[in-house]
Structure 1
């Protein structure tokens, strides 16, 4: 049975929960135990031929001043994805998001559209795409990445888990677009500086860019940030 999104979206969110949950698909991240609960991601094909990703969680929660007793991490991710629209940061579009308590245990579903035509930087580097792009285009990709992270950080958002597998790019000729994925650990900090320093330090540790490539990232970051950022160089 393929997902008929138009029908599902006409249902009350609570009534739709079980129907979304029952949709067949392929596990791309099999359910695993962490945060005291279970979380997994399934790829679902729709009747129109589109691809969706359905994150399913049971008792997979985070804690904050607002939710001292815990709340599903998928709902935090939904909030970040929706905030990214105003920040002009490309992320997967939210199709459906809802949570409920069953016998005192949180259940949550977050359904998003696939990023069509995008590949993670991890996949790109594994394929040797940077060799195909050439150094000039590779540096443009890194400039666009810098601009994307800067826009995200300017909203005081911290990604919290910046790895090459969470940074997606779409390169079509000379056109470059960057998107962010896996925002489950993202949170809003008190200051822009706190958010920026955390994410930039993670990228420094996890990237293997040359000095000139890192400078390309800095150029893109500072251009979008609006000023030089202390500690970036």
Structure 2
């Protein structure tokens, strides 16, 4: 059994997995069958009113050289969340993560994270008029903050692995020059460390280009900020 708990609870440590497993809420992502099992995400409210997201899995594993017999994907995501936080990249805060072998499903696994309060998907931010409301100067800061966050991740040799537009979240607090701009990344289930920062950078940046709606001008500006933060050019961007 592997467990990490980053929140105080009255539940005894040996009972925490079952306690969290029995929590139920609205499905945000209906369970889908893949990787030999099921995985889905529910939205629940904790006893103290905190909005949480519960990724619930049965038999949902990945294999690697280190884990040839399989390991729940939430444990890989947990490792990525911890690694990115150490690199000062904003990601959801872990409340609980655990995995147990089950006689029927082989593995049951949970990853519970706090809601990114005040953040919204960058695509929704654009669609809702966020760029027009805050102006081009703030929008440039959004691109710069995203670029610098990605550069920190990649310089630490971490690869997101599924860097789609929907996995980039933004929060703007305040107005004008005094506005505070924050960017967060979510859904690091495929996150892993690469041998070099360049490998991580090439994979993620090309993937983001394919799966984002940035205009050519905005993409070129993002790449400029990224190269400045990364310290060198990435061929093909």
Return the TM-score normalized by structure 2: 0.90
Query: In the TM superposition, what is the alpha-carbon distance from 1:55 to its structure 2 partner?
Result: 0.7
In the other structure, the counterpart of 2:190 is 185
Query: In the TM superposition, what is the alpha-carbon distance from 1:119 to its structure 2 partner?
Result: 0.4
Q: Does 1:223 align with 2:223?
A: no
In the other structure, the counterpart of 1:68 is 68
**Structure 2 residue matching 1:203: 3-state secondary structure:** helix
In the other structure, the counterpart of 2:203 is 198
Query: In the TM superposition, what is the alpha-carbon distance from 1:33 to its structure 2 partner?
Result: 0.8
Query: In the TM superposition, what is the alpha-carbon distance from 1:232 to its structure 2 partner?
Result: 5.9
In the other structure, the counterpart of 1:126 is 127
Query: In the TM superposition, what is the alpha-carbon distance from 1:190 to its structure 2 partner?
Result: 1.1
User: After TM superposition, which residue ranges in structure 1, 4 or more long, deviate above 3 angstroms?
Assistant: none
Query: In the TM superposition, what is the alpha-carbon distance from 1:24 to its structure 2 partner?
Result: 2.7
In the other structure, the counterpart of 1:158 is 159
**Structure 2 residue matching 1:178: 3-state secondary structure:** strand
Query: In the TM superposition, what is the alpha-carbon distance from 1:218 to its structure 2 partner?
Result: 2.1
CA distance in structure 1 between the aligned counterparts of 2:92 and 2:100, rounded to whole angstroms:
23
CA distance in structure 2 between the aligned counterparts of 1:85 and 1:56, rounded to whole angstroms:
22
In the other structure, the counterpart of 2:44 is 44
CA distance in structure 2 between the aligned counterparts of 1:89 and 1:229, rounded to whole angstroms:
21
Cα distance change, pair 232–133 in 1 and its aligned pair in 2 (3 A) = farther
Query: In the TM superposition, what is the alpha-carbon distance from 1:206 to its structure 2 partner?
Result: 2.1
Task: Name stretches of at least 5 consecutive residues in structure 1 with no aligned partner.
Answer: none
Query: In the TM superposition, what is the alpha-carbon distance from 1:224 to its structure 2 partner?
Result: 2.5
CA distance in structure 2 between the aligned counterparts of 1:17 and 1:211, rounded to whole angstroms:
47
CA distance in structure 2 between the aligned counterparts of 1:131 and 1:117, rounded to whole angstroms:
18
Query: What whole-Å deviation, never above 9, does each CA across 1:33-70 have from its counterpart, x for those lacking one?
Result: 11121001111112222111111100100000110010
Query: What whole-Å deviation, never above 9, does each CA across 1:157-216 have from its counterpart, x for those lacking one?
Result: 111111111001101122100100000011111111110001110122122323432233
What count of residue pairs does the alignment treat as equivalent? Answer: 226
CA distance in structure 1 between the aligned counterparts of 2:236 and 2:180, rounded to whole angstroms:
26
Larger mean Cα displacement after TM superposition, 47-56 or 176-185: 47-56
Residues 98 and 111 in structure 2, CA contact (< 8 A), matched pair in contact too = yes
Task: Name stretches of at least 5 consecutive residues in structure 2 with no aligned partner.
Answer: 1-6
CA distance in structure 2 between the aligned counterparts of 1:228 and 1:153, rounded to whole angstroms:
12
In the other structure, the counterpart of 1:140 is 141
1:4-23 mapped onto 2 (5 Å cutoff): 6-8=8-10, 10-12=11-13, 14-23=14-23
CA distance in structure 2 between the aligned counterparts of 1:201 and 1:211, rounded to whole angstroms:
14
Larger mean Cα displacement after TM superposition, 166-175 or 123-132: 123-132
